Structure 1
Amino acid sequence: MSDTYAPEADARLRAEAAQILARYPDPRSALLPLLHLVQSEDGYVSPRGIALCADLLDLSRAEVSAVATFYSQYKRHPNGEYTVGVCTNALCAVMGGDLIFERLSDHLGIGHDETTADGRITLEQVECNAACDYAPVVMVNWEFFDNQTPTSAVDLVDQITAGRPVHPTRGAHTVATFREVEHVLAGFEDGRADEGVAAGEASLLGLRIAREHGWTAPRVEGDGTSSEAAGGDVAPAVGAAGSSAERRPTTAADSSAQPRADEAKGNVQ
């Protein structure tokens, strides 16, 4: 890879960077989306991408590199066309996430943050995909594949290797490539935000139960306290000067309101 971008690519990247910079009063705040823009071009945060960001933001290359090495979503070596992330955090691990990762690692012949020889797949262990209600979860370029098993996960990567489109459980109809997703993360919409199912039944169960029982969340009053939307007891609320629980003793009304507040969040037994 060249140390600098070709004139056409450089002009295109700078034009898109100008759109990103226009969103931020402080130009330095644009560094994170600019790093995604670089990855959309090179497939990782390349030396020439670091140089471009440094030039655009009047930063040193060391300052840009310090940010790029802090966040795991920025890659410092070429990434595969599809990042397959297996959640191995507590719940997913107990439900089979560790077994899924081990099976995929053996099947693909690569370990964590390694890429297959054909450049198609980078395999990762992920701390949490924020989808515990569908454990164990695998993500492909940050699209959800819920309730996975070692067998279904192997079938998933085989489809990717074969060049066939894969269909997430929720979200877009098909998974975009790593570089395409990085362009979206840089702030450029791809027109697919409304595709597919946004949330499944397991995620919406608490909301459905609350609606069936007429439960509502507390509303914040003008004095910073919260009360039941139906006009019930006053419960502690966080205001500008801290929580009301810190400013006054707990009352019987507080304790009676708490179970209903928990129910409104779907925490029912």
Structure 2
Amino acid sequence: MSVRRLAEDNVQPAAFAFNRENSAWAKLAIKKYPKGREQSAVIPLLMRAQEQDGWVTRAAIEHVATMLDMPMIRVLEVATFYTQFQLKPVGTRAHIQVCGTTPCMLRGAEDLKKVCQHKIHHDPFHTNEAGTLSWEEVECLGACVNAPMVMVFKDTYEDLTPERLEEIIDAFEAGNGASVPVGPQIDRHFSAPQGELTSLNEGNGAAKPKRAAKTGASAIASVPPSNAAKPVTHDEATNAAIKSPSTVKATKAAEDATSKPAPKAPAAARAIKNPPIAEGSLSEKPAVQSVKAPAEAVSLEDKNRPAAIERPAVTDDLKLIAGVGPKIEIILHELGIYTYAQVATWKKAEREWVDSYLNFKGRIERDDWVKQAKALAKGGEAEYIKVFGKKPR
């Protein structure tokens, strides 16, 4: 890895301080760590400082060191080690990180770099004349299946062509970066195959219907009786011959058993048909214990189930709540849950019921669906960003 140094003194600001909102956030972040381990918050605080000013300044490093009662050199070591921290001023509207690792390189990353050189600056870490755009090449960004891709701040843009990257850069330059959809830039949902299903649709590839489960007498007839004779193995035949009371015949039998393959078991031993089942015997003494389907773990009639409503003309996009994907949203709709306001009013018992119904094992509490829903219900994405410091999803 190349040596990373702080920016020159002539671009360094004289001082740094978190604004009111970030200062409150930083104090809460420090409290998350055990007593005596508060310095573990160094990375979150440096990242917050970068988000506030656009890059990590020397003054910000000193400020974080003071907040954490930490030697400045230790904070400097962290800032210069991790490439996620920008040590020089970057574009105020967009800093584009182009993935140059093998999958992206094979899929056209070199062409994306040429676009950045043409539209921003020939060299990385240099802004355009207006100071609004900059770029760099980075290592893997973790979406190889959607190569090639770039990252702008915290958002990724995948399945790119040079033409599409030019459009994205123009949008950020015009101050309309928020209007660009994140993720794949083609007809693809996340990392799913592009387009419609192309296999197992018809003909020999179509899924075959499952066989009906056997029941009643037919199920019992398919189970061999407990007294059915087992095939005689070679070792068993040898042992039986050696243990015979007649020594001469035993010796002969042992020699035959060890020199020749074991004799086949009689036909009657190989396959004994089930004896006929007398009428009424199924109810009196069943030969096979019947298996009952397990009872439903969560009842839809439970009093703790959240109240359902009729589907409104306009439904909220529940997928903006972290932890809710397309399938979970469909299930919530089936339960009569269509709006943020509904989720925002869930009590503990209702949250536990939904968590059990979805088999989420506490994820609703960990992701704090209620707090997310309250923010989205109050002011949409703008309020969500204000509360959580990032875009939903």
Name the TM-score class by shorter chain. 0.5 to 0.7
**Any runs of at least 4 consecutive aligned residues in structure 1 with deviations exceeding 4 A, and if so which?**
9-13
Q: Which residue of 1 aligns with 2:94?
A: 82
- In our comparison, the structure showing a higher alpha carbon Rg is 2
Q: Which of residues 171, 177, 201 in structure 1 aligns to 2:192?
A: 201
Q: Which has the higher contact order (CA 8 A, sep 6+)?
A: 1
Q: Which residue of 1 aligns with 2:168?
A: 156
Cα 1:15/1:145, change in 2 over 3 Å: closer
What does the per-residue CA deviation read over 1:164-195, in whole Å, with 9 as the maximum and x for residues that have no partner? 23423439xxxxxxxxxxxxxxxxxxxxxxxx
TM-score after normalising by structure 1:
0.60
Whether contact under 8 Å (2:148, 2:159) holds in the other structure is yes
The size of the alignment, in residue pairs, is 181
What does the per-residue CA deviation read over 1:122-144, in whole Å, with 9 as the maximum and x for residues that have no partner? 21112112111111112222322
Separation in 1 of the partners of 2:51 and 2:100?
A: 27
Q: Which residue of 2 aligns with 1:29?
A: 40
> What does 1:96-111 align with in structure 2 at a 5 Å threshold?
96-111=108-123
How big is the alpha-carbon RMSD for the aligned residues of Structure 1 and Structure 2?
2.9
TM-superposed deviation, 1:15: 2.8
Separation in 2 of the partners of 1:42 and 1:138?
A: 22
2:128 paired with 1:139? no
> What does 1:63-82 align with in structure 2 at a 5 Å threshold?
63-80=74-91, 81-82=93-94
State percent identity of aligned pairs.
Answer: 28
TM-score after normalising by structure 2:
0.42
Cα 1:10/1:200, change in 2 over 3 Å: closer
Separation in 2 of the partners of 1:4 and 1:124?
A: 27
Letter in 2 for 1:37: R
> What does 1:1-269 align with in structure 2 at a 5 Å threshold?
2-5=13-16, 9=18, 13-25=22-34, 26-80=37-91, 81-165=93-177, 166-170=179-183, 199-202=190-193
TM-superposed deviation, 1:105: 0.8
Separation in 1 of the partners of 2:28 and 2:16?
A: 19
Q: Which residue of 2 aligns with 1:194?
A: none
Letter in 2 for 1:150: P
Structure 2 unmatched ranges of 5 or more = 1-11, 201-206, 209-393
Separation in 1 of the partners of 2:160 and 2:22?
A: 38
Separation in 2 of the partners of 1:198 and 1:15?
A: 37
What does the per-residue CA deviation read over 1:16-69, in whole Å, with 9 as the maximum and x for residues that have no partner? 221110111111100000101211222111122111111111112111111100
Structure 1 unmatched ranges of 5 or more = 172-196, 214-269
